[in-house]
């Protein structure tokens, strides 16, 4: 079980699990990655099939057709949109482009922000006064982020590194994941806008990662990026549209950051198939409506079932839950032996080994998970 239990950074490695168990990957129930249980939209399958011959050519490096579709979908300037090989590529490109001297990251949250900063190369040359700082969220508060406290942390970070000569701060960057991964907590739109306004005043870049915002779109701030030269908003199409294997994300950026990213990024990172898939997915309104209906129904079922088992779970605005389990390590290993993968959160900064994250799946799969969970709890 060693290879199977080696904790991946993001979960979702059904291939390693299948090899270890000697089974077909299709038999693995993956609750470690929060992917739409409806699977890829039929409209996307049809578009890819009908246009697959286009894949013999290099992809459009500027993703013009997809960018225009995103521009119309969000009513934002196409010149401010960048597409990526998943939103993770864009997170790393931001770090490489800006090379920030100090960074503020909530904890717990998506680990890729910290990895991107470490990989950017700037960490090696920072002075002792500069680095990455963490805004700790606590279980006592349900891991909810206090916007005023976060603004205070940004203010202290920026003011602490003002140049005595110019009285201007060195380049600062803050991250927010909304809804947060792995907690599922959402920051209301007005509170995010309050933080973004403070970031603008402080001249601190703010990245709002909205990878799961499709499950609560009323809290998105993607429309506000055009009015704030320090705000960047990222979106993912891999979760809601079940395109994880195709890889597609995008973001809205200040023009100066767009130019900087263009100067350093590798060519052709967004495949022709991904661009076709993105355009088709944006047009599929029926899929979005069906997804929200099914996820809402299954969340109610899961919450009620978990309560009956005495398993505490945080309220979640997304398609996953953070659970606290007695003997979580044993539960993770035992479920894995049955072909069910859940995400241990032991390697999330700010969480311990008692926390796990589970995805919301269809009723049949949720029943299977709950049945095995009942059997294996110590």
pLDDT digits (tens, 9 = 90+) for 115-149: 999 998 754 444 444 589 999 999 999 999 999 99
Quote the percentage of the chain above a pLDDT of 70: 92
The answer to whether the CB of 83 falls within 8 A of the CB of 111 is no
If residue 280 lies in a helix (H) or strand (E), which one and from where to where?
helix 272-282
The answer on pLDDT for 377 being more than 80 is no
Give the per-residue pLDDT at 27: 83
CA distance 25 to 291: 24
DSSP state, residue 178: S
Residue 71 neighbours by CB distance under 10 Å: 16
Helix (H, G, I), strand (E, B) or coil at 183: coil
The answer on pLDDT for 167 being more than 90 is no
Give the per-residue pLDDT at 161: 65
For 3-52, the pLDDT digits (tens) are: 444 444 556 677 787 787 777 777 899 999 999 999 999 999 999 999 99
**Domains detected in the chain:** 2-30+286-376 (3.90.1150.10), 44-282 (3.40.640.10)
At 175, the pLDDT band (50, 70, 90 cuts) reads very high
The answer on pLDDT for 195 being more than 90 is yes
CA distance 119 to 105: 15
Give the per-residue pLDDT at 17: 76
Quote the percentage of the chain above a pLDDT of 90: 85
If residue 104 lies in a helix (H) or strand (E), which one and from where to where?
strand 102-107
Cα within 13 Å of Cα(241), Cβ side: 28
Give the per-residue pLDDT at 261: 97
Give the per-residue pLDDT at 159: 87
Q: What is the mean pLDDT of residues 304-333?
A: 95
Give the per-residue pLDDT at 169: 54
The answer to whether the CB of 83 falls within 8 A of the CB of 270 is yes
The answer on pLDDT for 272 being more than 50 is yes
The answer on pLDDT for 230 being more than 50 is yes
Q: What is the mean pLDDT of residues 349-357?
A: 96
Report the chain's mean pLDDT, rounded to a whole number: 92
Give the per-residue pLDDT at 24: 76
Residue with tokens 């909304």: 178
CA distance 111 to 324: 19
Task: Output the six-digit token pair for 310.
Answer: 């005495």
CA distance 71 to 303: 37
Non-local (6+) Cβ contacts of 180 within 8 A are: 106, 108, 109, 137, 143, 145, 186, 187
What pTM was computed for the model?
Answer: 0.93
Q: What is the mean pLDDT of residues 362-366?
A: 98
For 211-220, the pLDDT digits (tens) are: 999 999 999 9
259 phi, psi to nearest 5 deg? -65, -40
Task: Output the six-digit token pair for 312.
Answer: 């505490």
Name the region of 327 (left: φ>0; alpha: ψ -120 to 50; beta: rest): left
Give the per-residue pLDDT at 21: 78
């Amino acid at each position: 079980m060693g290879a199977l239990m080696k904790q991946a950074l993001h979960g979702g490695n059904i291939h390693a699990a299948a090899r270890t168990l000697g089974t077909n990957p299709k038999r693995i129930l993956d609750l470690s990655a929060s992917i739409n249980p409806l699977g890829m939209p039929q409209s996307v399958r049809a578009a890819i099939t009908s246009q697959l011959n286009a894949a013999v050519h290099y992809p459009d490096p500027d993703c013009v057709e997809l960018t225009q579709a995103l521009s119309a979908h969000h009513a934002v300037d196409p010149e401010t949109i960048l597409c990526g090989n998943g939103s993770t590529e864009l997170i790393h490109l931001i770090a490489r482009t800006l090379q920030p001297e100090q960074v503020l990251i909530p904890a717990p949250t998506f680990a890729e922000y910290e990895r991107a900063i470490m990989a950017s190369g700037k960490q090696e040359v920072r002075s002792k006064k500069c680095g990455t700082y963490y805004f700790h969220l606590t279980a006592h508060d349900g891991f909810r982020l206090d916007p005023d406290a976060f603004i205070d942390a940004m203010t202290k970070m920026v003011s602490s590194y003002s140049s005595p000569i110019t009285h201007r701060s060195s380049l600062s960057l803050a991250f927010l994941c909304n809804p947060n991964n792995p907690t599922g907590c959402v920051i209301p739109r007005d509170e995010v806008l309050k933080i973004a306004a403070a970031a603008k005043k402080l001249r601190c870049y703010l990245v709002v990662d909205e990878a799961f915002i499709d499950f609560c779109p009323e809290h998105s701030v993607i429309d506000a990026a055009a009015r704030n030269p320090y705000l960047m908003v990222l979106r993912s199409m891999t979760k809601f549209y079940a395109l994880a294997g195709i890889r597609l994300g995008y973001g809205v950026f200040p023009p100066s950051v767009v130019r900087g990213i263009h100067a350093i990024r590798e060519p052709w990172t967004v495949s022709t198939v991904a661009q076709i898939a993105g355009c088709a997915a944006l047009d599929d309104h029926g899929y979005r409506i069906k997804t929200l209906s099914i996820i809402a129904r299954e969340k109610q079922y899961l919450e009620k079932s978990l309560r009956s088992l005495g398993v505490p779970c945080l309220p979640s605005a997304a398609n996953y839950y953070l659970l606290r389990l007695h003997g979580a390590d044993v539960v993770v290993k035992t479920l894995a032996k049955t072909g069910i993968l859940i995400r241990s959160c032991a390697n999330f900064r700010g969480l311990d080994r008692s926390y796990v994250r589970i995805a919301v799946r269809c009723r049949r799969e949720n029943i299977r998970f709950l049945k095995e969970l009942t059997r294996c709890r110590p």
